[in-house]
Structure 1
Amino acid sequence: MKKRVTGIGGLFFKTKDPKASKDWYKKHLGFNTDDYGSTFWWKDKEGNDCSTQWSPFKEDTKHFEPSKKEFMFNYRVENLQELIKVLKEEGVTVLGEIEEYSYGKFGWILDNDGNKIELWEPIDKTFLE
């Protein structure tokens, strides 16, 4: 198996008022916010355009379940299907099935503390079109 995680794909957290959080971060820290949060663009060591997403979620979101935490990390991966297979063999709890969208594939696991982790095999060029 090649690389597993290649970077941070996103930082997601619960808040009482996602719009107020987006407005605060825009005003005080200069985030370029939209309906989903803020996308940060960067280049990997090969010079490819890559993105990392920052998104506040409503405090009653079910998206982080079964984790009870107020946050969820999203990690960029190189080959999601192969990685999920290896993680299952290693005894890691895998949640649901891989989902595919125009901007990449997603899978979910639980870490040793029961935190839900989202794994993303991105198609960054979709965001640039």
Structure 2
Amino acid sequence: MAKVIGLGGVFFKSADPEALANWYKTHLGMPVEHWGGCAFRALDLPKGSYSVWSPFAAGSDYFHPSRHPFMFNLVVDDLEAVLAQAAAGGAEVLPGREDTEFGRFGWFIDPDGNKVELWQMSVNS
């Protein structure tokens, strides 16, 4: 049987995609390219990195306070520094951090109201 072998991208709508892409480039250092998005190369990620695909129950409040039916998860090299940069750019940094066997997690709301989960992978992930 043919099968899916990886996550090819995340695509979503924005009222002002150019401004949102520029915000991520300016405040989170994302490598936004001329076509408006960015490609994350496997060689640039921590060794053993992986992508996660996970449906949530319709009634889940995990994406709260965003009203959107999705959430982004971005791998970062320094959770607290990236959250500080997001806050400096006007994002609402959400309280609380989560430490798990997979690494550390923190969250913010971007200028479009999307909840973004930041993941600093643990060395053992």
In the superposition, the TM-score normalised over structure 1's length comes to 0.60
Q: Is residue 91 of structure 2 the alignment partner of residue 99 of structure 1?
A: no
| 1:54 aligned partner, one-letter code | W
Identical counterparts, % of pairs = 32
Matched, 1:72 2:81: no
Q: Residue 58 of structure 1 corresponds to which residue in structure 2?
A: 57
Alignment partner of 2:83: what SS?
helix
RMSD: 2.6
Give the Cα–Cα distance (whole angstroms) in 1 for the partners of residues 57 and 80 of structure 2: 30
Amino acid at match of 1:83: V
Distance in 2 between residues matched to 1:64 and 1:75, nearest whole Å: 14
Q: In the alignment, residue 95 of structure 1 is paired with which amino acid?
A: L
Instruction: Select the structure with the greater relative contact order (CA < 8 A; seq sep ≥ 6).
Output: 1
Match of 2:122 in 1: 123
Amino acid at match of 1:56: P
Give the letter aligned to residue 73 of structure 2: N
Structure 2 letter corresponding to 1:106: F
Instruction: Kindly report structure 1 stretches of 4+ aligned residues shifted beyond 6 Å.
Output: none
Question: Where does residue 88 of structure 1 map in the other structure?
Answer: 87
